[in-house]
Amino acid sequence: MSKKVYIESYGCQMNHSDSEIVASILTKDGYTTAATAEEADLVLLNTCSIREKAEYTVMQRINEMNALKAKKRGMKVGVLGCMAERMREDLLVKKKVVDLVVGPDAYRSLPLLLDEVESGQKAVNVLLSREETYAEIEPVRLDSNGVTAFVTIMRGCDNMCAFCVVPFTRGRERSRDPHSIVEECKQLVAKGYREVTLLGQNVDSYKWTEKELLANGQQPVANDLGSVDFADLLSMVAEVSPALRVRYSTSHPKDMTDRVLVVMARYANICKYVHLPVQSGSSEVLKRMNRGYTREWYLERIASIRKHMPGAAISTDIITGFCGETEEDHQQTLSLMEEVRFDMAFMFKYSERPKTLAARKYPDDVPEEVKSRRLQEVIAKLNSTAGDLRRNAVGEERVVLVEGESKRSAEFMYGRDDQYTTVIVPRGSGATEIKAGDFVRVRILSGTAASLKGEVIAVIPYPAAMEPLSIA
Ligand code: 5AD
Ligand code: SF4
């Protein structure tokens, strides 16, 4: 009987994708995946350190797993991901609660480490790497809808934003071989997937050079310089199939080039959606955050997106109450939001993280209640502008990729349009019934801040060219 592993993922999409790499490595080692912790011989928690709350949630879960372990003889518990390096002492030595701690660059060593665990030892590998990209490992898709998939194109981050723990938990930035990325996308198309999202902490600094190509015995493919940047990669992936939708995340305002925008505008199958984290609308705060751009620079990047793709959707990340943020700084964030009118935003209170530049240099001096009040104001601002945008969509036609059944009712299906907005449509019946993986043309009938409702006008035959997706 093969052993069963249950993997639970916290944090960003990158972490969820890493779990699919872990599942692949363990499947080759003879494991099968379990749907619940109760059924599993090995429970792995793939953890996140981005805010204190994320770590707290994981610690609670580790305690629950230990209660389960006490009842189930032989069950092992491991911690993967971003908390591994920071918490290994605590988890393995002080609290003695977990059997295994493995950092984001050390997943290939899992089979060996599990052997150690089997022989009754505690096992750990939290070494970070300058090269590891798991390029050739074909992920085992977990919780997949069979329609959309995530493809990691680079790992780590070299930016050193003052608030951010990622450079410490995930190490230096490195780009994955473009051939292996294109190959993975082709495989996905062959399996019936209709959309890929290319993932990286800062996709705009994707860079694969000829030196690396030649070292791998390959020829340069994309341009005369013998190097592949993000704009090149994006067009290579868009060329895989006109009926494969392409998205990506995340851009950095200091690095986002017009070339990328030109490529986005050129290909009908690249979604007209940009996630561009601003963090703050105050140039003073941005400077302390070490973001490498000003308010004016950010607004110029937004103008450029709108120039190249007039209907594009733009979303962002915002932090309230960063060290030294004044009421005036906060007002500048609100006014920037008013000016840009984001379609969506992830909004957070600042949470000090160990080792970061901010933790070392600046006092965390905005009181908790002020952080909370500012966060509420930022959320209210987003809801007012995003609500307008959704309401304005009423009467428009959108192309929607159907992802599955609506959680609220089996009579409805949900999917996303080109701008990443969730759209709910009736399932229909008989000859007109729609299914996951269909591209459908939808007339929008109503909208809220979070989603749109519509009626299906037509199913777009697959694999017809994606021409109807073009909104320019
Ligand atoms: N506190 C609050 N939010 C943070 N983020 C990153 N680090 C912190 C922190 N220490 C937010 C940023 C980032 C998103 C992924 O998480 O907005 O873009
Ligand atoms: Fe969390 Fe950041 Fe690690 Fe993603 S990279 S899991 S957001 S700490």
Show Cβ contacts of residue 31 under 8 Å, excluding neighbours closer than 6 positions. 2, 3, 4, 5, 42
CATH code given to domain 397-469: 2.40.50.140
Tell me which long-range contacts 93-97 makes (C-beta under 8 A, separation of at least 24): 97/62, 97/63, 97/66
Note the ligand closest to the C-alpha atom of 315: 1
166 CA distance to ligand 1 middle (Å)? 10
Confidence of residue 460 (pLDDT cuts 50, 70, 90): confident
List, chain by chain if needed, residues with CB within 6 Å of any ligand 1 atom: 50-51, 163-164, 277, 279, 317, 319, 348, 350-351, 353
What is the distance between the alpha carbons of residues 177 and 218, in angstroms, rounded to a whole number? 10
What is the distance between the alpha carbons of residues 405 and 46, in angstroms, rounded to a whole number? 28
48 CA distance to ligand 2 middle (Å)? 5
What letter does residue 162 receive in the DSSP assignment?
A: T
Q: Hey, what amino acid is at 93?
A: V
- 50, 288, 364, best to mutate for ligand 1 pocket (most atoms within 8 Å of CB): 50
Element (H, E) at 47: strand 42-47
Confidence at residue 80, expressed as pLDDT on a 0 to 100 scale = 97
- Lowest mean pLDDT of 73-77, 220-224, 229-233, 333-337, name the range: 220-224
What is the distance between the alpha carbons of residues 426 and 405, in angstroms, rounded to a whole number? 10
Average pLDDT over all residues of the chain? 91
Residue 456 beta carbon below 6 angstroms from any ligand 2 atom: no
Distances (CA, A) of 103 to 26, 52, 88, 217, 246: 15, 18, 10, 30, 29
Say which residue, 14 or 212, is predicted with more confidence: 14
Note the ligand closest to the C-alpha atom of 53: 1
Quick check: 54 pLDDT over 70? Answer: yes
- 8, 9, 12, 159, best to mutate for ligand 2 pocket (most atoms within 8 Å of CB): 12
Quick check: 147 pLDDT over 50? Answer: yes
Q: Hey, what amino acid is at 284?
A: E
Confidence at residue 464, expressed as pLDDT on a 0 to 100 scale = 53
| Total residues found in the chain within this entry | 472
CATH superfamily of 148-391: tm_1862 like domain (3.80.30.20)
Instruction: Give the closest residue (by CA) to ligand 2 atom 1.
Output: 48
What letter does residue 324 receive in the DSSP assignment?
A: T
Confidence at residue 470, expressed as pLDDT on a 0 to 100 scale = 38
Give per-residue burial for 32-51: e unless 16+ CB within 10 Å, then b.
ebbeebeebbbbbbbbbbbb
pLDDT tens for 268-295 read 999 999 999 999 999 999 999 999 999 9
**Segment 96-113 mean pLDDT:** 94
Distances (CA, A) of 360 to 227, 240, 386: 37, 46, 37
Residue 274 beta carbon below 6 angstroms from any ligand 2 atom: no
pLDDT tens for 327-342 read 999 999 999 999 999 9
Confidence of residue 220 (pLDDT cuts 50, 70, 90): low
Structural domain boundaries of the chain? Answer: 4-125, 148-391, 397-469
Tell how far CA 370 is from the center of its chain.
29
Quick check: 465 pLDDT over 50? Answer: no
Query: What class, spelled out in words, does domain 4-125 have in CATH?
Result: alpha beta
C-alpha neighbours within 13 Å on the C-beta side of residue 218: 17
pLDDT tens for 316-328 read 999 999 999 999 9
Residue 153 beta carbon below 6 angstroms from any ligand 2 atom: no
Confidence at residue 225, expressed as pLDDT on a 0 to 100 scale = 53
